[in-house]
Chains A and B, each alone.
Chain A
Amino acid sequence: MSDAARNVELVEKLERAYNERDYDTVRACLAADFVANTPGAEMVPAGVDGAIAANEGTFSFFSDRRTEILEIFGDDDRVVSHVRMTGTNDGGIEWAGVPANGKPVDIDWIQISRHGDDGMIQETWAQMDIPKMMVQVGAMATPEGM
């Protein structure tokens, strides 16, 4: 198996672990000095603990949160994954001042991960469709023309 195929399998395993809140597996996929270059990363601790805190955060907003990988491919030491997340706002999004209101969310993000020689994830970059989520939970009007 090529390194790229091995790295793709690891990202798939990590996404399942986030869904199952299986943090032993999460820790087995992320390097100890893991860095997340994601908007909002400043709201959680650095490194692996921050990744786990961010995942627990989404479960506190949307207790039925589920993700599915829509597309995934890798080359060399990087993997690109396009992920869809669905859930229901039954917990409220504190940082955005949004109360629990039972509204469904259905958003996507694209993540690029960089893997070490051992396959573990050293660094990620992600962009998430936050404005869409804010509109879906009723925190933002649909901006005209956007």
Chain B
Amino acid sequence: MPTPQENAATTRELIQRVQNEGDMGFAEKTLSESFVGTNPMAGGTADKAGAIAMFAMMRAWIPDMHTEVDDVIATGSKVAVRSTMTGTDTQGFIPGTPPTGKSFSMGAIDVFTFDDAGMNSGHYGVYDMMGAMGQLGLLPAPPQ
């Protein structure tokens, strides 16, 4: 049974190696076969394969995306991470729209669940997409 501190260390390594360095092998090794995520992209699946596809998609979407961990709260089987995600819109932030070339800084809070073997078995997160879209000038003007 892993300690909360061990789960927190695994979470930090997952963010660094997978999100920041694109090491999908580490995600293969760390996500449980029964993984359930709650933020699948449109057309994606909530399982392990869907999560790894999303990590890969994010690397292609924002190639210089970097997640800086601001705070970690770990207790029981849960690890919460508050972070700041920065990147440059070179591929089209909203899929199908031209890239703005601008950079953004987006607040995020994620919650990871770990099983008794220390494998990451679940995830959900909320991101300041509205703020990032505002920084990129992509928000529609409110109707008058």
Contacts and interface: CB of A to CB of B under 8 A. Distances in A.
Contacts of B129: 130-131, 146
A85 to B, nearest CB: 12
Interface stretch (A12-20, A24-32, A52-60, A75-83): A75-83
Interface residues of A, number: 34
A108 B82 CA distance: 16
Report the interface size class on chain B.
20 to 34
A1 interface: no
A76 B107 CA distance: 22
Given A129-B126, A143-B94, A110 B76 contact: no
Given A39-B107, A96-B142, 17 more contacts: A39-B131, A78-B71, A95-B142, A97-B142, A97-B144, A109-B126, A110-B80, A111-B109, A125-B71, A127-B126, A127-B127, A128-B126, A131-B130, A143-B94, A144-B42, A144-B96, A146-B95
Give the residue among A97, A125, A145 with the most B Cβ atoms within 10 A: A145
B143 interface: yes
B41 A145 contact: yes
Interface of A: 4, 39, 71, 73-76, 78, 80, 82, 95-98, 108-112, 125-131, 134, 139-140, 142-146
B109 A75 contact: no
Nearest to A79: B73
Contacts of A130: 129-130
Interface string B83-102: 00000000000111000000
A96 B134 CA distance: 13
A111 B73 CA distance: 12
B14 to A, nearest CB: 18
A144 to B, nearest CB: 6
B34 interface: no
